[in-house]
Amino acid sequence: MQELNNEINLQQSALNCCVDEEHGKGSLEEAEAERLLLITTEKRTLLIDELNKLKSEGSQRKNKAGLLSQSEFVPSKGSVILSEIRLPLKADFVCSTVQKPDAASYSFLFILKAGAKNMVDTPLASTATSLNGDALTFSTTYTLEDVSNDFEISIEVYRLVQKKDSSVPDKKKKAYKSKAITPKRLLISRTTKSTLHSSVMASPGGLHAVRTSNFILVGSYTLSLSSVRNTKFAVDKIKYDVKERELLGYLFQEKMGLTSEHDEPVAKGLLDKLRIIKHTKPKLGNSNCC
């Protein structure tokens, strides 16, 4: 836990230094730092939740284990593999990002969770560099071994918006101007330096300010055994006001699809391949996987 806290402090300090474009604001490096801060924070949250759960349920689990009868059957277990993850975006939104590439940069990532020990995150996918048609693709493969039939996998979608600082002067335009020093230009130069210096020093809370990642949760879905044969899933956990809902509706298709390994895809989807591999591992007698 202390190691995670140290990582979070370092990541926060690094992000607090991104005050303008010259210091990395709006860059891919800043987006990656935001991703690392999000992942580390989520890991710490999962560990804290797991510790609290063990404290509250520890004695109950021991009692239940003692009550198991020797003649009682144990359900068989299997493996779950998620791969070829795709995030479909609305055509209007994709066109707007292509027509105005300098307006803002949109980055997305997935976090897959099945308890504190089984958390996997995808690399960043940007609308500027990672679009495949009207969808973002992620090459991450998520595997769960020896799972019971009541497994649950939380799939979360996060988004980061980076807008360029319009207050920064265009250096290309400055190159064509005369380099002759006049009293007016000298005054402007001193004012500009003072403004830039004050903006760096005015970082909220300084370099050690406590902050969270600017990635926001824009949708999620809980995958279970009953989800295998479905092909479309509505995005859950979008609790925003009307304007933000309209924006998110503009970004995403109404539903994200899911196709299994043996089904024909009927819609562009969140996961293009889902494999449920059933193993028969009964401890006593034979039993069927539900």
Number of H helices, E strands in the chain: 6, 12
User: What would the two tokens of residue 47 be?
Assistant: 């560990």
**3-state DSSP assignment of residue 142:** strand
Distances from the Cα of 239 to the Cαs of 112, 222, 251, in angstroms? Answer: 20, 16, 16
**Residue 189 covered by a domain:** no
pLDDT score recorded for residue 122: 93
Distance between CA 103 and CA 22 in Å, rounded? 18
H/E stretch holding 216 reads strand 216-224
The region, left, alpha or beta by phi > 0 then psi within -120 to 50, assigned to residue 72 is beta
**Residue 169 covered by a domain:** no
* Of 119-133, 213-227, 233-247, the least confident: 233-247
Q: Name the one residue in this structure whose structure tokens are 């509505």.
A: 234
Higher pLDDT among residues 243 and 24, named by residue: 24
Distance between CA 34 and CA 28 in Å, rounded? 10
Distance between CA 76 and CA 283 in Å, rounded? 8
- pLDDT digit string, tens, across residues 150-207: 889 999 999 999 887 655 555 444 444 445 555 555 455 555 544 444 444 334 444 4
Distance between CA 132 and CA 195 in Å, rounded? 42
Domain span at residue 128 reads 2-164+199-278
Distance between CA 89 and CA 252 in Å, rounded? 5
**Residue 172 covered by a domain:** no
Distances from the Cα of 208 to the Cαs of 8, 17, 81, 205, in angstroms? Answer: 11, 10, 41, 7
pTM beyond cutoff 0.75: no
pLDDT score recorded for residue 64: 57
For 12-61, what is the HEC assignment?
Answer: HHHHHCCCCHHHCCCCHHHHHHHHHHHHHHHHHHHHHHHHHHHHHHHHHH
User: Could you give the number of structural domains in the chain?
Assistant: 1
**Residue 190 covered by a domain:** no
**3-state DSSP assignment of residue 133:** coil
Q: CB atoms < 10 A from the CB of 110, how many? A: 23
The region, left, alpha or beta by phi > 0 then psi within -120 to 50, assigned to residue 115 is left
- pLDDT digit string, tens, across residues 107-155: 999 999 998 889 999 999 988 888 888 888 888 899 988 888 888 999 9
- pLDDT digit string, tens, across residues 40-77: 999 899 889 888 888 887 656 655 555 555 556 667 78
**Residue 101 covered by a domain:** yes
**Residue 89 covered by a domain:** yes
- Model confidence at 279, in pLDDT bands (50, 70, 90)? very low
Q: Residues with Cβ < 8 Å from 108, sequence gap 6 or more? A: 87, 124, 125, 126, 127, 136, 157, 158, 159, 160
Answer yes or no: is pLDDT of 6 > 90: no
Q: Residues with Cβ < 8 Å from 10, sequence gap 6 or more? A: none
**Residue 96 covered by a domain:** yes
Distance between CA 89 and CA 125 in Å, rounded? 12
**Residue 181 covered by a domain:** no
Share of the chain above pLDDT 90, in %: 12
**Residues shown for the chain:** 290
CATH value at residue 122: 2.60.40.150
